[in-house]
């Protein structure tokens, strides 16, 4: 629908916005403009009410955005969303005229929920670290266990998990310090320990395959040494290659959540 009343143009686009990575409600774009003029900084805001005919998921928020034609992206600058969950209409209150849309953005946890989730994570990882350390202690004190190849494979996975927990638990405190060197070390250590954990899990599967499927004639010279080279060496090679290619992959990364559409 398109109106020419004086010089005020009003149009509705009911089509997909090409190249948009966001979910646009009802694939609709509403445009308001005055011919030949750039209207912005209005003291009396323009209110656009949109009927919500489709149900919005509980995990999503409906937020008003405008489409920046020059930058080809969405922004919330100058727009306020007036909507309460459960209402069948939403009002976009903006101080400029342009093309508006309602974006469905994944809802962020409340500060209270984030705090609860943080405590759950810390407690869970701490318990995991505690039991893993006990596992290593029992392995060291058990002579028969030290001689068993399967137990040695298990203990390497346990050590990888210990390294992962040791570097994951203090990562929030390390980020608060804002030290470039510390941040770089934490990123490298987390990447390495996570890769080591995954690779040792794969080696566990390979070891079980030899025990349960092959069964006979499975002698491999220096078997545990070869597994250790793969389990601890491959992660080191991957991390080293990434550092050589671009060290910027590690360290401090600014997050932009101002428009609540990406981080």
Enclosing H/E stretch for 195: helix 180-209
Strand bridging mode 8-14 / 23-24: unpaired
User: 88: which DSSP letter?
Assistant: S
Distance of CA 241 to the CA centre of its chain: 23
pLDDT of amino acid 1 = 37
| Contacts (Cβ under 8 Å, ≥6 apart) of 233 | none
Indicate the pLDDT class of residue 35, thresholds 50, 70 and 90: low
Whats the size of the chain, residue-wise?
Answer: 263
Residue range 163-212, pLDDT digits in tens:
999 999 988 888 788 788 888 888 899 999 999 999 999 999 998 888 88
pLDDT of amino acid 168 = 92
Please give the Cα distance from 3 to 6 (Å, whole number).
9
CATH class of 2-106: mainly beta
**What is the CATH code for 111-249?**
1.20.1070.10
Residue range 93-122, pLDDT digits in tens:
888 777 777 777 776 777 888 889 889 999
Please give the Cα distance from 149 to 219 (Å, whole number).
12
pLDDT of amino acid 84 = 77
Residue range 220-245, pLDDT digits in tens:
788 889 999 999 999 999 999 999 98
pLDDT of amino acid 161 = 96
Indicate the pLDDT class of residue 25, thresholds 50, 70 and 90: low
pLDDT of amino acid 166 = 94
**Segments making up each domain of the chain, as ranges:** 2-106, 111-249
């Amino acid at each position: 629908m398109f109106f020419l009343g004086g010089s005020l143009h009003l149009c509705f686009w009911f089509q997909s916005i090409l190249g948009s990575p966001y979910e646009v409600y009802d694939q609709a774009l509403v445009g308001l403009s005055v011919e030949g003029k750039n209207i912005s900084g209005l003291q009396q805001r323009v209110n656009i009410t949109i009927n919500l005919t489709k149900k919005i998921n509980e995990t999503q928020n409906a937020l008003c955005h405008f489409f920046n034609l020059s930058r080809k992206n969405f922004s919330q600058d100058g727009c306020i969303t007036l909507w309460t969950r459960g209402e069948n209409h939403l009002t976009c209150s903006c101080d400029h005229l342009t093309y508006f849309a309602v974006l469905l953005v994944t809802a962020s946890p409340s500060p209270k929920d984030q705090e609860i989730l943080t405590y759950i994570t810390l407690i869970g990882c701490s318990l995991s670290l505690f039991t893993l350390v006990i596992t290593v202690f029992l392995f060291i004190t058990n002579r028969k266990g030290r001689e068993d190849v399967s137990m040695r494979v298990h203990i390497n996975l346990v050590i990888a998990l210990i390294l992962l927990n040791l570097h994951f638990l203090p990562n929030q405190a390390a980020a608060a310090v804002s030290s470039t060197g510390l941040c770089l070390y934490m990123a490298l250590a987390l990447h390495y320990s996570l890769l080591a954990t995954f690779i040792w899990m794969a080696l566990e599967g390979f070891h079980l395959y030899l025990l349960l499927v092959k069964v006979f004639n499975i002698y491999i010279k220096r078997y545990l040494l070869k597994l250790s080279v793969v389990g601890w060496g491959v992660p080191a090679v991957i991390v080293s290659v990434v550092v050589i290619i671009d060290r910027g992959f590690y360290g401090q990364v600014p997050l932009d959540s101002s428009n609540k559409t990406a981080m």
